[in-house]
C-alpha cells in the first residue's frame, strides 16, 4: 500500500498527460509557454479570484508575498507554530520576526484567540511592528478566515493564506486561495493538486499586487523585460509542469469527491478509537492529510505497519522547537496545544485512488 499513490493517478490520466507534455515538446516554449497562461486563467476561475500568478514552488510563492508587502527587519509576522517549515522560514528570510501562535486542538489550524493575544503582546512590548498574518490551511482544511479577517482588519494587518495544502477546500462555498489579501499554493507532487516536479502559485484580487508579483517573479522586471525596476527573483513555473497541471486540474473535482469519500470511511471506522479530524459546519477539506490524534501514537503506528499500512507524522516538530528558531526562546508551555499535537498526531494513507490500489 502507498501513502500517496501517484502512480495510480498517472495510470488513470496517462493518455491525457502524455499528450499535453508532447504538445509542449513539439512547440518548444519551455519557459512561459502558452500552457502557463492557460493554467493561470483556469486556476483563477476555479479559485474564484481575479489573478493567479504561477511560480516555481510554494515556498517562493510565500517569499514573494513578503517581497510584495515589503516585510523587513523590525516587522512581526504571525504564523502557526504547527505547520511546515516554509511558512515561518520566509518570514525570517525577509529579516522579519516570526511570532508563533498556538493551534486549535480540533482543527489543527491557527487559534484566533491565541493570535489576538499575541498581537496585543507585541503591541504592548513595542519592539516590533505588527505587519501581517500567515494562516495555513493545514491538512486541507481552510483556517478560520471569518474570524482571522476580523482580527486582521481590527489591527490593520495584512492576511496571507498559505493554501499549499488547502487547494480545493472551501468555507461556505468560497474556495481556498480566495481568503485574505493574497493566497499561495504549492504543486509539490504530494499536495492535493501536484505536478511532476516543483511548482507554485499566488492568488489575489488586487491589480496592484498582481502587477508586483509578476515583476518580482522575473527579476523585478519593468515594462521592458531588460529594464529591471526592483530587485526580484527568478521563479517561474515550467511549461511542462503547467501542461501536467492542466490535465490534473480537469480531474481534480472528481478526485476531491473520492478524497472526501475516503475520509468519511475513515471517520466511520476510526471514531471510537481515536480523535478523528473535525471539519466545522460550512467547511470543506481537500484532505491533503488524514490525521488522527492518539495518546499511544507509537504503538498505533507499529500496529498499522505490521498490517502493511504506511503512516506518517505531520508534524513531529513545531516551529518553536526547530533548531533554526532556537534564539526566539519559546518553550512548549508557551504553545501547549501545538506541542501536545506534535507528540500525538499521525496520518493515514490519503489519495483519490485508495480503493483501486491493492498493494
Ligand X SMILES: *Cc1c(COP(=O)(O)O)cnc(C)c1O
Count the neighbouring beta carbons within 10 Å of the beta carbon of residue 105. 16
Q: Do the bridges between strand 174-175 and strand 170-171 make them parallel or antiparallel, or are there none, so unpaired?
A: antiparallel
Q: Which of 189/272 has CB closer to ligand X?
A: 189
Closest Cα to residue 186, out of 83, 109, 101, 104? Answer: 83
Among 9, 54, 59, 289, binds ligand X (CB under 6 A): 59
x/- map, 78-117, ligand X, by CB under 6 A: -----xx-xx------------------------------
Q: Could you give the string, one character per residue 119-158, with x where binding to ligand X holds by CB under 6 A and - elsewhere?
A: -----------------x----------------------
| 65 scored as a contact of ligand X (CB under 6 A) | no
By beta-carbon proximity to ligand X, the closer residue of 165 and 260 is: 165
Question: Is 165 one of the binding residues for ligand X (CB under 6 A)?
Answer: yes
DSSP structure class, residue 267: H
Beta strands 170-171; 200-204: pairing state? unpaired
Nearer Cβ to ligand X, position 210 or 319? 319
Does 186 participate in binding ligand X (rule CB under 6 A)?
yes
- Answer whether 170's CB lies under 8 Å from 127's CB: no
- Contact status, residue 50 vs residue 205, Cβ threshold 8 Å: yes
Cell of 102: 498556538
Q: How many helices (H) and strands (E) does the chain have?
A: 10, 12
The smaller minimum CB distance to ligand X, of residues 189 and 220, is found at 189
Q: What residues are paired with 203 via a beta bridge? A: 52, 183
Select 86 or 244, whichever has its Cβ closest to ligand X: 86
How many residues bind ligand X (CB under 6 A)? The answer is 15
Q: Quick one: which of 157, 122, 131 has its CA closest to 75?
A: 131
**Interface characters, 234-253, with ligand X (x: CB under 6 A):** --------------------
Q: Applying CB under 6 A, does 58 fall inside the site for ligand X?
A: yes
Report residue 103 as a C-alpha cell. Answer: 493551534
User: Which single residue is written with the C-alpha cell 481534480?
Assistant: 252
> Taking the complex as a whole, how short is the minimal distance between the CB of residue 187 and ligand X, in angstroms?
7
Binding residue for ligand X (CB under 6 A) from 5, 40, 162, 181? 162
CB nearest ligand X: which residue? 58
Phi and psi, residue 198, nearest 5°: -95, 150
Q: Where do contacts with ligand X occur on this chain (CB under 6 A)?
A: 57-59, 83-84, 86-87, 136, 162, 164-165, 186, 188, 198, 200
Amino acid at each position: 500500500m502507498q501513502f500517496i499513490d501517484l502512480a495510480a493517478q498517472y495510470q488513470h490520466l496517462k493518455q491525457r498527460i502524455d499528450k499535453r507534455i508532447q504538445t509542449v515538446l513539439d512547440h518548444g516554449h519551455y519557459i512561459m509557454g502558452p500552457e502557463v497562461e492557460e493554467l493561470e486563467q483556469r486556476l483563477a476561475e476555479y479559485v474564484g479570484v481575479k489573478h493567479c500568478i504561477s511560480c516555481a514552488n510554494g515556498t517562493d510563492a510565500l517569499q514573494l508575498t513578503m517581497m510584495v508587502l515589503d516585510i523587513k527587519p523590525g516587522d512581526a509576522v504571525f504564523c502557526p507554530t504547527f505547520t511546515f517549515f516554509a511558512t515561518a522560514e520566509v518570514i525570517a528570510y525577509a529579516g522579519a520576526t516570526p511570532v508563533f501562535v498556538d493551534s486549535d486542538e480540533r482543527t489543527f489550524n491557527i487559534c484566533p484567540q491565541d493570535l489576538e493575544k499575541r498581537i496585543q503582546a507585541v503591541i504592548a512590548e513595542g519592539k516590533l511592528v505588527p505587519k501581517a498574518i500567515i494562516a495555513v490551511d493545514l491538512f486541507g482544511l481552510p483556517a478560520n478566515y471569518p474570524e482571522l479577517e476580523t482580527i486582521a482588519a481590527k489591527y490593520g494587518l495584512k492576511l496571507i493564506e498559505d493554501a499549499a495544502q488547502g487547494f480545493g477546500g472551501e468555507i461556505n462555498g468560497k474556495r481556498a486561495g480566495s481568503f485574505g489579501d493574497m493566497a499561495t499554493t504549492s504543486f509539490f507532487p504530494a499536495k492535493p493538486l501536484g505536478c511532476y516536479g516543483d511548482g507554485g502559485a499566488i492568488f489575489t484580487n488586487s491589480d496592484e499586487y498582481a502587477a508586483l508579483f509578476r515583476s518580482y517573479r522575473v527579476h523585478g522586471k519593468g515594462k521592458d523585460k531588460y529594464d529591471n525596476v526592483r530587485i526580484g527573483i527568478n521563479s517561474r513555473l515550467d511549461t511542462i509542469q503547467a501542461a501536467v497541471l492542466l490535465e490534473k486540474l480537469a480531474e481534480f473535482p472528481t478526485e476531491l469527491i473520492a478524497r472526501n469519500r475516503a475520509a468519511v470511511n475513515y471517520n466511520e471506522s476510526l471514531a471510537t478509537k481515536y480523535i478523528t479530524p473535525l471539519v466545522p459546519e460550512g467547511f470543506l477539506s481537500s484532505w491533503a492529510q488524514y490525521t488522527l490524534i492518539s495518546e499511544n501514537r507509537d504503538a498505533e503506528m507499529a500496529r498499522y505497519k505490521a498490517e502493511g499500512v504506511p503512516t506518517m507524522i505531520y508534524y513531529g516538530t513545531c516551529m518553536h522547537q526547530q533548531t533554526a528558531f532556537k534564539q526566539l526562546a519559546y518553550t512548549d508551555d508557551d504553545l501547549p496545544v501545538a506541542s501536545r499535537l506534535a507528540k500525538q498526531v499521525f496520518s493515514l494513507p490519503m489519495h483519490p485512488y485508495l480503493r483501486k490500489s491493492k498493494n
